[in-house]
Chain A
Amino acid sequence: MRAPRQAVEIVFDHATKRYPGRTTPAVDDLSMTIPAGEVCCLVGPSGGGKTTAMKLVNRLVELTSGDVRVDGKSVTALDETTLRRGIGYVIQQVGLFPHMTVAENVATVPKLLGWSKRETDERTDELLDLVDLPARDYRSRYASQLSGGERQRVGLARALAADPPLMLMDEPFGALDPITRTRLQNELLRIQDELRKTIIFVTHDIDEAILVGDRIAILREGGVLAQYDTPEQLLAHPADDFVARFVGADRGLKRLSLTTLDEVELEPANGLVGPLLDGQTTLRDALSAMLTDGARAVVVDSGDGTRKQLTLDRLAELLR
């Protein structure tokens, strides 16, 4: 097996894209740094240029001015096919090759890079297992024999095949039903936990961005960066009215969903009555449980036999 590749840092440096004949740029003077191994979500309304900004990285869209650097090197320094073979690419419609089997689809980039057949086969099986499609059952199927969720899993495996340090994902789960979407979001987090790629993830869904993003860049119409921050900061301190409206009036609740009971300091239980919850429960669900039960606290079994509690007042303090 080849050694896993180190993730890379991506820098947008005054990156600008203007299409001929348009008055406003699609991406306007975008500057931001995505640290190696982090997931950066690009969100914003349609016309915000989020997909365009992402495509500047693999040069499916060419820069008008400014620069995009991957691992310190300008994307314009490499020829575009070499550049793209080193970047995983996942799109909403997946775009599996219908005439190739699942295994052949996954092997596309390794084959372009001239890997040996044995190495390619091993890698293919390993990746199918990673995306939870047992290789034995799935390797010789065609795309027409897969469900939507299975297709996108194959799309993800195909993008990961040559172990690229960087992945671009364009609304990858946007066409899936909510249950499949949630499952795949969690799988992506699990895989990312293991692989630590640098990922640019385009979505129009702020909840998805909060769930999968280490950082979120909000773009407004005209491709202007409105705010680039961690989900926590974005929800706690939106830069302006646009961002505040975009993240939603329930941003307080969304912030609560970022943290679990285990992650906050709890008080020793002092006899208050409330629902007994698991430490993995998010604060948002804990609040919901209090409201449902009409209680002013929740109780957590801390595992060592003692019980701790979180009161409504303490929860309000945490949000400040």
Chain B
Amino acid sequence: MAEPVIPDFGEASDCVAENRLFCTDWVRENWDPVLQPALVEHIKLTVIAVGLGFVLSLVAALLAHRFRHVERPVAFLSAVIYTIPSLALFQLLVPVTGLTVTTVEIALVGYTLLILFRNNLAGLRSTPPEVLEAARGMGLTSNQTLWRVELPLALPAIVAGLRIAVVSTIALATVAAFVVSEGLGGPILGALRLDFRTEIIAAGALAVGLAILADALLVLAQRAVTPWASARRVT
């Protein structure tokens, strides 16, 4: 840093003392000790939850694509999990897994499954029948058809599912603060108890900003991996 920062632990600024709507000095002072660590934890919670949820739902979707009878039980189970309120789900899990990140992640992963499973499966089933017939007729095995044709064509639906899952998980991960002090939920919850407006707004804005940024990145990623979808007509 160019100029030395002298932390003033003794007394709060007027802005903070009067609990005005938004105090930039508080944000500047608390970025390193509070907000930034919470943001990093929040990103970790989200990445692990969506990552695990994606792997599980993709395996389930691949199974359901190959074996039709797998679809209904998986769809039913993921829908049931989705209907359980998050706080109630924490209540159910805490006796088993304790006040740990594991508890939070189980819940977050659970909530991604419905959206991801449905989108992955819809994507895998979106290959036009004539494309499948051509693939068979040319002598692609069913595994080759899956990897070279069905999965690439499923990408738009898969990424669409990931976008919803990431945004909703970023929002939902704030509730993790009820179980462990991780993520942006910590500062929000603490500030709610104290009715400290600056901290609520700052942490809330970070969560919203993170969601918007993540969504934008996924849109760019989708364009990069599905060049055919944006190909323009050449005349």
Decide yes or no whether A281 CB sits under 8 A from chain B: no
In the bound complex, do residue A145 and residue B141 qualify as a contact, i.e. CB atoms below 8 Å apart?
A: no
What residues of B have a CB within 8 angstroms of the CB of A89 in the complex?
Answer: 134, 137-138
A112 contacts chain B at the CB level, 8 A cutoff: yes
Q: Do residues A96 and B228 form an inter-chain contact, with CB atoms below 8 A?
A: no
Q: Is A142 an interface residue (CB 8 A)?
A: yes
CB-based contact B234/A141 at 8 Å: yes
Of the candidates A93, A94, A97, A99, the one whose C-beta lies within 8 Å of that of B226 is A99
Per-residue 0/1 for A71-92: is the Cβ within 8 Å of any B Cβ (1 yes, 0 no)? 0000000001111111001010
Compute how far the CA of A100 lies from the CA of B131 in the bound complex, rounded to whole angstroms.
12
Chain B residue nearest to A168 (CB atoms) is: B137
0/1 string, B119-156, CB within 8 A of A gives 1: 00000000010111111111111001000110011000
Residue B194 at the chain A interface, CB threshold 8 Å: no
Beyond A98-B228, A145-B233, is A112–B149 a contact (Cβ under 8 Å)?
no
- If A97-B149, A142-B228, A142-B231 touch, does A85 touch B138 (CB 8 Å cutoff)? yes
In the complex, the answer to whether A91 meets B139 with C-beta atoms within 8 Å is no
Which B residues lie within 8 Å of A58 (CB)? 137
Contacts of A185 in B (CB 8 A): none
- Residue from A81, A93, A97, A109 whose CB has the most chain B CB atoms within 10 Å: A97
For residue A82, which residues in chain B have a CB less than 8 angstroms away from its CB? 139
Q: Does A60 contact B (CB under 8 A)?
A: yes
Main secondary structure of the interface of B (DSSP, over half): helix
* Interface status of B232 (Cβ within 8 A of chain A): yes
- Interface residues in B212-235 by Cβ distance below 8 A to A read 226, 228, 231-234
Residues of A near B232 (CB, < 8 A) are: 145
Q: Is A24 an interface residue (CB 8 A)?
A: no
Q: Are B141 and A95 in contact (CB under 8 A)?
A: no
Residue from B128, B134, B137, B139 in contact with A112 in the complex, judged by beta carbons closer than 8 Å: B139
Assess A145 versus B231: contact at CB under 8 Å? Given A81-B140, A83-B139. Answer: yes
Q: Please tell me if the beta carbons of A84 and B138 are within 8 angstroms of each other in the complex.
A: yes
Look across to chain A and name the residue whose beta carbon is closest to the beta carbon of B136. A60
B149 to chain A, nearest CB (A): 6
Q: Are B137 and A145 in contact (CB under 8 A)?
A: no
- Return the contact of A144 from the options B132, B144, B148, B228 (Cβ within 8 A): B228
A159 to B148, CA, bound (A): 18
State A307–B228 Cα separation when bound (angstroms): 59
Are B234 and A145 touching (Cβ within 8 A)?
A: yes
Say if the beta carbon of A108 comes within 8 Å of chain B.
Answer: yes
- Are B152 and A85 touching (Cβ within 8 A)? no
- A98 engages B153 (CB within 8 Å): yes
- Docked-complex contact B130 and A60, CB < 8 angstroms: no
B73 to chain A, nearest CB (A): 29
A299 to B148 Cα, complex, angstroms: 60
Contact of B136 among A84, A141, A145 (CB under 8 A): A84
* Chain B residue at smallest Cβ distance from A147: B233
Residues of B within 8 A of A83 (CB): 139
Tell me the minimal C-beta distance from A111 to chain B in angstroms.
Answer: 9
Complex CA–CA separation, A302 to B16 (angstroms)? 107
* Residues of chain A lying within 8 A (CB to CB) of residue B148: 97
Nearest Cβ distance between residue A175 and chain B, in whole angstroms? 10
* Known contacts A112-B144, A144-B233, A98 near B137 by CB under 8 Å: no
A58 to B148, CA, bound (A): 21
A109 contacts B138, CB within 8 Å?
yes
Which residues of B, 70-91, contact A by the 8 Å Cβ criterion? none
The answer to whether B136 touches A94, judged by C-beta atoms less than 8 angstroms apart, is no
Query: Is B138 in contact with A144, judged by CB distance below 8 angstroms?
Result: no
Q: Taking A142-B231, A144-B233 as contacts, is the C-beta distance between A96 and B134 under 8 angstroms?
A: yes
Given contacts A84-B139, A95-B131, could you give 13 more A-B pairs where the C-beta distance is less than 8 Å? A60-B137, A83-B139, A89-B138, A96-B134, A98-B131, A98-B153, A98-B228, A99-B149, A99-B226, A112-B138, A112-B139, A144-B228, A155-B134
A-B contact pairs, 12 of them (CB 8 A): A60-B137, A81-B140, A81-B141, A85-B139, A91-B134, A97-B149, A98-B131, A99-B152, A108-B140, A144-B228, A144-B233, A145-B234
Residues of A at the B interface (CB closer than 8 Å) are: 58, 60, 80-86, 89, 91, 93-100, 108-109, 112, 141-145, 155, 158-159, 168
**A-contacting residues of B (Cβ < 8 Å)?**
128, 130-141, 144, 148-149, 152-153, 226, 228, 231-234
